């Protein structure tokens, strides 16, 4: 990944020159951004734009640390509650710094919460085509190799998707293994045993060692209906484990998951924006 970090006394920015395509056109991304003041942020964004122009690119996406596998998105609206585990965060003034530099919103996301007592009772129709099972707790590397293979297929049509190597994927997820609960790592399999979907849930340890909420962090499916069965099993299991609330994390506004979250009675508590700028547009 071609990148360069720019620092001043009061700001930092990393410019990634081989970011994802935006409407079919190669784009750079601005990630790892922080600034103490709007003026310091404006100065470093100007320097970043110069680097992108020197590289012959005219589109920039941000904040994004190179791709959607890593940290991206600004918090754009919040109820003021504390960040949950692995949630993106930023200073209140930082989105405005990007907007003042000509960036506009190109994608929207949200997180929502729902009482597990409510969500656990919302069962999907029975089916004999999908079987949901939990991870057996052994060989976490093999677990994430399975997740990697399905993720690359399930997410390949998503906006701003770029491929990642299996080695890089494992390097991202293996450090999380000590925090995982096997009961919240779920697989959906077809009747012939082939993998149709997965769900990665994790306790919200940002609340401390004994959290009240569990995070539905990521799920993906290749079979219609598999995601709904995975989500129901997650809610039911988390409730039986004593968690009170489920967090539906970082959902794209246009994703089918957004409709399911609303149907289950979840309430949005945070919104996020991904911004972009066309330098010659």
Q: What is the pLDDT of residues 245-265, one digit of tens each?
A: 999 999 999 988 888 899 888
The distance in angstroms from the start CA to the end CA of the chain is 26
Residue 274 phi, psi (nearest 5): -110, 135
Whole-angstrom Cα distance, residue 276 to residue 74?
Answer: 12
Is it the case that residue 127 has pLDDT exceeding 80? no
Is it the case that residue 150 has pLDDT exceeding 80? yes
Is it the case that residue 57 has pLDDT exceeding 90? yes
Whole-angstrom Cα distance, residue 72 to residue 275?
Answer: 10
State mean pLDDT over 238-244: 97
Residue 106 or 131, more confident: 106
Predicted structure pTM score: 0.92
Structure confidence by residue, pLDDT tens digits, 2-33: 899 999 999 999 999 999 999 999 999 999 99
Coil, strand, or helix at residue 146?
helix
pLDDT of residue 84: 98
State mean pLDDT over 102-114: 97
pLDDT of residue 227: 86
What does the mean pLDDT of the chain come to?
93
Token pair, residue 100, equals 């003042």
**Which domains does the chain show, CATH number per domain?**
3-110+273-278 (3.40.630), 115-271 (3.40.630.30)
Confidence category of residue 40, pLDDT binned at 50, 70, 90:
very high
pLDDT of residue 1: 61
Whole-angstrom Cα distance, residue 75 to residue 166?
Answer: 29
Structure confidence by residue, pLDDT tens digits, 188-237: 988 888 888 999 999 999 999 999 999 999 888 888 888 889 999 999 99
């Amino acid at each position: 990944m071609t990148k360069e970090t720019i620092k001043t006394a009061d700001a930092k920015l990393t410019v990634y020159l081989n970011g994802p395509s935006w409407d079919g056109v190669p784009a750079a991304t601005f990630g790892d951004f922080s600034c103490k003041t709007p003026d310091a942020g404006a100065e470093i964004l100007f320097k970043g734009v110069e680097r992108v122009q020197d590289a012959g690119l005219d589109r920039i996406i941000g904040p994004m640390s190179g791709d959607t596998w890593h940290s991206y998105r600004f918090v754009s609206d919040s109820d003021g509650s504390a960040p949950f585990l692995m949630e993106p965060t930023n200073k209140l003034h930082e989105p405005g710094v990007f907007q003042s530099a000509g960036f506009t919103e190109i994608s929207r996301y949200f997180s929502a919460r729902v009482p597990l007592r409510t969500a656990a009772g919302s069962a999907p129709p029975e089916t004999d085509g999908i079987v949901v099972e939990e991870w057996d707790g052994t060989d976490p590397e093999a677990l994430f190799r399975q997740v990697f293979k399905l993720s690359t297929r399930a997410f390949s049509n998503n906006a701003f998707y770029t491929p990642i190597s299996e080695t890089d994927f494992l390097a991202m997820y293996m450090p999380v293994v000590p925090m995982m609960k096997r009961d919240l790592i779920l697989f959906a399999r077809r009747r012939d045993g082939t993998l149709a979907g997965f769900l990665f849930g994790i306790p919200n340890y940002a609340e401390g060692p004994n959290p009240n909420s569990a995070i539905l962090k990521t799920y993906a499916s290749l079979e219609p209906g598999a995601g709904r069965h995975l989500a129901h099993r997650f809610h039911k299991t988390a409730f039986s484990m004593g968690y009170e609330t489920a967090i539906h994390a970082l959902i794209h506004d246009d994703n089918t998951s957004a409709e399911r979250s609303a149907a289950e009675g979840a309430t949005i508590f945070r919104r996020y924006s991904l911004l972009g700028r066309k330098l010659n547009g």
